[in-house]
């Protein structure tokens, strides 16, 4: 989106913002980067044990090493941070991961391509449909099959609603982290309505295994248009209430503006994507820049920030909810009739009704769900724009019914390495705001 200047408030200098983002008084927050070299804490556990002064000596000014997490609620999961502190100022830090250690990539190399969806959907559990989509796109490219148009539009519908539910979760938990407790209630309330629709379509609120190679598991219910239209009508005015509650609130702006600054060059160098990269001013979105599904047939804006701070990342996610609802409204009108999955018998099981009528159909169903289907040898990388950034699946097939190699480019894992750079020379309290603004999902990190 274009960059514009807002009118100065109370004699303050104009504050540049991205068009379409929330605006308001700067509240005295000067967005100045406080970056210095050596942001990453590099020491062994033995060296860490030697650091720190005498806790009984108030005059001891030695540096202190503090472990935050992995059971701290504001680390958004089992994330541990080693913080080197001078008073309440973070000098260096190191994210420590691995406490979840699910091993989903290695597990995926022992599951058939049809079973793989039940595995990958549990990685980023806040946006499971994106995991399923990336896995299915990679499998379909190796198979060389075409997905019916209706199935592609259904995938877009479900993923954009999943983006809405994920960002609503961010709004809720980020508000709670910073003391806006009522935002937790409101964000959770709206997210529940989206999950209720997911349950109606897929049978589950989370970990759906709904998007599968060849299409989707089931067609949309007959009244889906009414349900989706009601969701849009419900959520859109509530976003304006969030604006009133948070965007112009002086305490909220003081806690976020000028905190956790990262430049576009730094974000690119660290591999950051999603709102973290767009907040730094780089308008990169795979839906627009490397279109997949039918995103080149819908209109939406890529929201960008300027300062690369926590406030920009908050405002981007708030407005991305609006853009996703805008896409969903277009999908309602564009949805065609037809099949919801490919009719290629190699990858698609027979209809349930046929199993009771035909022995051949029963055998076909049994072999697909026990042996799986063989995928031609080759390698592929498929990426989608998840709520946290570029989610990619690298897959190698040796011609069997299970992947020879499966590796996931998880956005939470890559974005997490920006934390030491974002937190350096800030306060411990700022660290809470920064972690929330990165929006990590530890199932995505320790997959």
Q: Which of 208, 163, 100 is nearest to 443 (CA)?
A: 100
Q: Which of 109, 127, 140, 126 is nearest to 212 (CA)?
A: 140
Q: Is residue 67 pLDDT above 70, yes or no? A: yes
Q: How far apart are CA 260 and CA 174, in angstroms?
A: 14
Q: What is the pLDDT of residues 360-384, one digit of tens each?
A: 889 888 988 888 899 999 999 999 9
Taking a C-beta distance cutoff of 8 angstroms, is the pair 85, 64 a contact? yes
Looking at every residue in the chain, the average pLDDT score rounds to: 88
Query: Tokens 């005498």 sit at which residue?
Result: 54
Asked whether residue 160 is domain-assigned, the answer is yes
Asked whether residue 436 is domain-assigned, the answer is yes
pLDDT for the residue numbered 7: 33
Asked whether residue 332 is domain-assigned, the answer is yes
User: What sign does the dihedral 397-403-407-408 (CA atoms) show?
Assistant: positive
Look up the CATH number of the domain holding residue 304: 1.10.645.10
Q: How far apart are CA 86 and CA 64, in angstroms?
A: 7
Q: What is the DSSP string of 289-328?
A: HS--TTGGGS-------SS-SHHHHHHHHHHHHHHHHHHH
Asked whether residue 50 is domain-assigned, the answer is no
The half-sphere exposure of 141 on its side-chain side, counting CA atoms within 13 A, is 18
Asked whether residue 395 is domain-assigned, the answer is yes
Q: How far apart are CA 54 and CA 138, in angstroms?
A: 56
Q: Is residue 73 pLDDT above 90, yes or no? A: no
Say how many residues make up the chain.
447
pLDDT for the residue numbered 48: 67
Q: What is the pLDDT of residues 288-343, one digit of tens each?
A: 999 999 999 999 999 999 999 999 999 999 999 999 999 999 999 999 999 999 99
Q: What is the pLDDT of residues 378-429, one digit of tens each?
A: 999 999 999 999 999 999 999 999 999 999 999 999 999 999 999 999 999 9
Domain extent, residue 320, equals 104-344+374-445
Q: What is the pLDDT of residues 210-238, one digit of tens each?
A: 999 999 999 999 999 999 999 999 999 99
pLDDT for the residue numbered 63: 83
Residue 135's H or E segment, with its range, is helix 128-143
Asked whether residue 223 is domain-assigned, the answer is yes
Instruction: Count structural domains, the chain.
Output: 1
Asked whether residue 302 is domain-assigned, the answer is yes
Lowest-pLDDT choice from 6-15, 90-99, 366-375: 6-15
The band of 274, judged by pLDDT with boundaries at 50, 70 and 90, is very high
Q: What is the pTM of this model?
A: 0.88
Query: Tokens 């965007």 sit at which residue?
Result: 247
């Amino acid at each position: 989106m274009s960059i514009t200047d807002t009118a100065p408030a109370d004699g303050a200098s104009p504050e540049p913002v991205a068009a379409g983002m929330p605006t308001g008084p700067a509240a005295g927050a000067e967005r100045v980067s406080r970056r210095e070299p050596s942001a990453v804490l590099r020491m062994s556990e033995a060296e860490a044990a030697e650091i720190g002064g005498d806790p009984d000596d108030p005059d001891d000014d030695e540096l202190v090493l503090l472990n935050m997490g992995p059971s701290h609620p504001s680390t958004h999961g089992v994330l541990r941070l080693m913080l080197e502190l001078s008073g309440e100022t973070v000098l260096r830090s190191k994210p420590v991961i691995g406490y979840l250690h699910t091993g989903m990539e290695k597990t995926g190399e022992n599951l058939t391509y049809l079973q793989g969806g039940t595995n990958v959907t549990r990685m980023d559990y806040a946006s499971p449909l994106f995991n399923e989509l990336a896995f299915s796109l990679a499998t379909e490219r190796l198979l060389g099959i075409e997905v019916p148009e209706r199935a592609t539009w259904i995938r877009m519908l479900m993923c954009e609603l999943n983006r809405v539910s994920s960002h609503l979760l961010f709004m809720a938990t980020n508000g709670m982290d910073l003391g806006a407790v009522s935002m937790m209630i409101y964000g959770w309330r709206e997210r529940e309505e989206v999950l209720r629709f997911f349950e109606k379509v897929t049978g589950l609120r989370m970990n759906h295994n709904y998007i599968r190679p060849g299409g989707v598991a089931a067609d949309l219910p007959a009244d889906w248009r009414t349900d989706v239209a009601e969701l849009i009508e419900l959520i859109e005015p509530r976003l304006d209430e969030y604006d009133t509650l948070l965007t112009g609130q002086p305490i909220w702006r003081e806690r976020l503006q000028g905190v956790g600054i990262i430049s576009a060059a730094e974000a690119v160098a660290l591999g950051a994507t999603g709102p973290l990269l767009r907040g730094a001013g780089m308008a990169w979105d795979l839906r627009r820049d490397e279109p997949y599904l039918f995103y080149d047939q819908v209109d939406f804006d890529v929201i960008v920030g300027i300062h690369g701070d926590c406030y920009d990342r908050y405002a981007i996610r708030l407005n991305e909810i609006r853009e996703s609802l805008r896409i969903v409204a277009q999908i309602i009108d564009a949805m065609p009739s037809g099949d919801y999955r490919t009719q290629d018998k190699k990858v698609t099981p027979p209809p349930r009704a046929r199993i009771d009528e035909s022995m051949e159909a029963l055998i076909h169903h049994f072999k697909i769900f026990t042996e799986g289907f063989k995928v031609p040898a080759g390698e592929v990388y498929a990426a989608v724009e998840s709520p946290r950034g570029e989610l990619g699946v690298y897959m190698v097939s040796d011609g069997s019914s299970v992947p020879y190699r499966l590796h996931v480019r998880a956005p939470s894992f890559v974005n997490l390495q920006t934390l030491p750079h974002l937190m350096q020379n800030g306060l411990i309290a700022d660290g809470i705001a920064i972690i929330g603004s990165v929006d990590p999902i530890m199932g995505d990190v320790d997959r």
